[in-house]
Amino acid sequence: MINPGTGEFITKVASAGVEDINDAVAAASNVAEVWESIPPFVKTTLMNKFADKIEANIDELVTLECEDNGKTYGDAFGDVSFCAIIMRYYAGLAMQNTGKSMMRDSMGMYNNSYAYTRKQPIGVCGLITPWNYPILMTAFKIAPMLASGCTGVAKLPELTPLSSLRLIELWHEVEGVVPGVLNAVPGIGAQAGEALVDHPDVRKIAFTGSTAIGKRIQVRATEQVKRVGLELGGKGPLIVFADADMPKAIATAAACGIVNSGQMCGAATRLIVEESVYDEFVEGLAKAVEAQKMGYWRDADSTKGPLISQN
């Protein structure tokens, strides 16, 4: 791992191969019925304890995110804080995985008879997360997985795995957690990621990343009729009309355009401005962007972190 803020070496992280993925999926499969059978209130309690752990270790998690990803402390602190909120939100939903009962509409054939629906876990989930919001995207995927009674394997981003590794370690430090429910596997997408997508015991793939890779995953998953959730790239324009509050529009465009140093699928990197206010807007936006200082997160005057790599 290379610190993007300094260019210095941080540490080495193992790169998983097919056998590692097989072991992780086997671990998740072996405890799938155990985790499913645990009462919802217990799942809720464990997830809230996990949120407590995140909050108790927030400075460590933020530091890992800053060193590994290059974010400023404020940005990383917001991400990690949100992880705890996400966990508490889904902890509440774990108590609400209920079906429905209804009187059957059977045209008089079965009067006073009822049908019911039942929600059941999908099974083992494969969770593949990106480098731009590593810990946050990992939390977004593992929280609903845990709450719904599923087990899974998180394939962590090859450029920024450190904060997610520590996050999943914290899950295993919660008293009462079932080993094997949540497994962390760092690795390269073309190796570990594809092995996870192709594994016959993985029934759901949740992926956040590029559109090109998302299409590839969709095709490969279709062969085994896996459920797939894709959050892919795509940037909508920010549109400014002449009657806009111009200072607010300029500030919004600057903030949205360089959020996470522009490394975000939702960043407003295209602007459409009405011609009559074009010059005023461009001049104001240029000043707002020039006021930003990119640099290492420990530098007091840095307002934005560096790009993830030279590439």
Q: Is 60 in a helix, a strand, or coil?
A: helix
In whole angstroms, what is the distance from residue 18 CA to residue 61 CA?
Answer: 29
In whole angstroms, what is the distance from residue 307 CA to residue 102 CA?
Answer: 55
Q: Is 9 in a helix, a strand, or coil?
A: strand
User: Is the backbone of residue 36 left (phi > 0), alpha (psi -120 to 50) or beta?
Assistant: alpha
| Catalytic residue of the set 36, 55, 256, 265 | 265
In sign, the C-alpha dihedral spanning 222, 16, 58, 264 is negative
In whole angstroms, what is the distance from residue 7 CA to residue 252 CA?
Answer: 31
Closest CA to 120 of 32, 223, 201: 32
Paired tokens of 292:
């930003």
| Catalytic residue of the set 36, 55, 231, 280 | 231
Q: Can 231 be counted among the known catalytic residues?
A: yes
Active site residues: 231, 265
